[in-house]
Amino acid sequence: MRRIGFVVNPIAGMGGRVGLKGTDGKVSEAIQRGAEMRAPDRARDALVALADASAELKLYTYGGVMGADQAREVGIEPTVVGQPDGAKTETRATDTRDAVSEYLKHDIDLVLFVGGDGTAVDVATLIEETDQEIPILGVPAGVKVYSEVFGVSPEAAGHIAATFHETEPAEVNDIDEDEYRDGEVKTELRALASVPAAEQRQSSKQLGGGSVQGLAEGFTEEITADMTCVLAPGSTVGTIAEKLGVDGTALGVDVYRGGELLVEDGAADEIRGALGENNVVVVSPIGGQGFVFGRGNQQISPDVLRRSDIEIVASRRKLDDIGVLRVDTGDEALDERLRGWQRVRVGRHERRLMEVV
């Protein structure tokens, strides 16, 4: 019987839809902007996959929204080992660490956590401090998901947790959210963790290479005056923004139409409000991982994607490195629609077929 300690950071990812690029120290502001918790939904998705893959498991959780609620909602009766000190929407890093400390007393086989890179750091460093080699695995729910310890989706994480047989070391990385909001990405290796060895675990983010001037010129030549361009984060799309004369934000989402920057570093509702009749979302996959949606660009919400064409742009070298593309919008029906073969602009006129899996 597999014994799993399951912990949910309920505030993870709340800042994504409202354009905060993270939730560290920003929970109150996120709530004021209308943010809703997304981690509990992703926790339930992971638990359904976990239960479907194995009937022989024992689940340890913390109380309430940190795991017990989601387990019971999907029909799993957990062993509850403690309660968070914080309020329902204001749990703290110490609650996560306390939960993991309790799980380690119960001879568990894996810590399955729901959150982002900050949660991964809390879990991994706590285990390092105990000198134990308990593997960990993340259910992606945060705005920033740079580390190698996450499944590519909640369902993948649940399946891996139930079926893995071997482990391997993986990096736990994090970035400074204040610098990230100011347009600087500086990843820092925070820990090495033991993780399940599985193809459906994501790679750490790496930088792609190659010139993107040609593809930027090709795209801008095809823009019409009535076209609303939703410009996703990243340096490749940033090159297109420069060609358009847009002085926007490197790591946020901007909206451009007819020579005018309509929205700079926008939240989901601002982006939605700026859409017109002819919309295109311009996005480049994350190097090393292949994610097109669901990592660092949650402001581009499912309803925006449904109203827009999608232009994927990337250098040939980046595509060679990643092999396939991935999506994790939080809307399974939309993810399924986006899967399959997509044409990616790699030059002024050249395109390349890539599979979204």
Q: How far apart are CA 302 and CA 298, in angstroms?
A: 9
Percent of the chain with pLDDT over 70: 85
pTM exceeding 0.75: no
Residue 97: CB atoms within 10 A of its CB come to: 17
Asked if pLDDT for residue 185 goes beyond 80, the answer is: no
Residue 302 burial (C-beta neighbours within 10 Å; 0-12, 13-18, 19+): middle
Q: What is the rounded average pLDDT of the residues 142-171?
A: 90
Query: In terms of CATH architecture, what is 2-196?
Result: 3-Layer(aba) Sandwich (3.40)
262 or 211: whose pLDDT is higher? 262
Q: Is 239 in contact with 212 (CB distance < 8 Å)?
A: yes
Q: What is the rounded average pLDDT of the residues 75-99?
A: 84
Q: How far apart are CA 182 and CA 22, in angstroms?
A: 12
Average pLDDT, the chain: 86
Q: What is the pLDDT of residue 210?
A: 36
pLDDT tens across 94-150, in order? 999 999 999 999 999 999 999 989 899 999 999 999 988 899 999 999 776 878 899
Confidence of residue 274 (pLDDT cuts 50, 70, 90): very high
Asked if pLDDT for residue 188 goes beyond 70, the answer is: yes
Residue 224: CB atoms within 10 A of its CB come to: 8
pLDDT tens across 10-39, in order? 888 665 554 444 555 554 554 555 546 788
